[in-house]
Amino acid sequence: AQSVSQHNHHVILSEAASLELGCNYSYGGTVNLFWYVQYPGQHLQLLLKYFSGDPLVKGIKGFEAEFIKSKFSFNLRKPSVQWSDTAEYFCAVKNSGGYQKVTFGIGTKLQVIP
């Protein structure tokens, strides 16, 4: 069975600080990886996804994530956060192929202080 670990449950940063949120997964096969974001009062929405090719994936709003297969990791990064990045971030994994069951991590709440 696949699982996802997000190590930081609550992160507080000042504006302009750099961000890195950890995500590790456990699954032996080929995976697809996602980061979703939930802004206060809004739906969950896709931030970025990896399915093949370049392991450095760029998403919306200046976010990026790097897939490191040897470490089973897919950490989310942003060089300079803004107050508007305050949200909850979820890492998710599915095994590649037709079966689309997705497993989510517990989420990381990011609070950016102006």
Partner 1 sequence: GAGVSQSPSNKVTEKGKDVELRCDPISGHTALYWYRQSLGQGLEFLIYFQGNSAPDKSGLPSDRFSAERTGGSVSTLTIQRTQQEDSAVYLCASSPPVGLAGVSEQYFGPGTRLTVT
List interacting residues with partner 1 (CB under 8 A). 6, 32, 34, 36, 43-46, 49, 51-52, 90, 94, 96-107
Q: Could you give the CA distance from residue 98 to residue 109 in angstroms, rounded to a whole number? A: 31
Closest distance to partner 1 from the beta carbon of 15 (Å): 26
Q: Residue 47 Cβ, how far from partner 1 at the closest point, in Å?
A: 10
Tell me the CA distances in angstroms from 104 to 27, 33, 56, 109, one per residue in order: 13, 10, 20, 14
For partner 1, the closer CB: 52 or 70: 52
Distance linking the first and last C-alpha atoms of the chain = 41
| Residue 68 vs 106, nearer CB to partner 1 | 106
Query: Considering the complex, what minimum distance in angstroms separates the CB of residue 35 from partner 1?
Result: 11
Which residue in the block uniquely carries the two structure tokens 């699982």? Answer: 3
